[in-house]
Amino acid sequence: MTMMDLAHHIIAVAHKNNIPVTNLQLQKVMFFSLKHAMNDNLLPREVIEKMYDRPFLVWRYGPVVEDVYNEFSVYGATPILDDYTLVNELNNEEFNHKICDLLNQNVFKLVRESHQESFWKENESQIFFGRGNARYQLDDVGKQ
């Protein structure tokens, strides 16, 4: 179970519900779905800890998992067309509903919300040319 698995699961949920998902959306939905999974007990803590194998980084448009971003950057701002299957360990009704809710929100609203996160604000000054290397610890993602 990895952060790439989370990305693939989100894309599968999006396609199953006929919701387009861009790379920028994917990054924000990954961040906020993981945050909700932790804070609302939507997934077991051990699943979340095992999955968080690559940290979010502080970037201009909010938290980004660089490997996932690079994987889907070929799509630019257009919807991701790759097909994936739902990941068993993540496939529960409440978590998938939260993913759909996030996918249906304006992506720039999610960007603005991610900029209100304390870790992002504390590290914004380290962003150069749109990217930063400040790494979110798992507990930084879950902070209220």
pLDDT(122) > 80: yes
Report the percent of the chain where pLDDT is more than 70.
99
- Host domain of residue 102: 3-142
Give the mean pLDDT of the chain: 96
Query: Each residue of 13-33: pLDDT tens digit?
Result: 999 999 999 999 999 999 999
Predicted pLDDT of residue 143: 84
Mean pLDDT of 69-92: 96
**In total, how many domains does the chain have?**
1
Q: Are 53 and 112 in contact (CB under 8 A)?
A: no
- 9 contact partners, CB below 8 Å, separation of at least 6: 84, 86, 87, 90, 91, 99
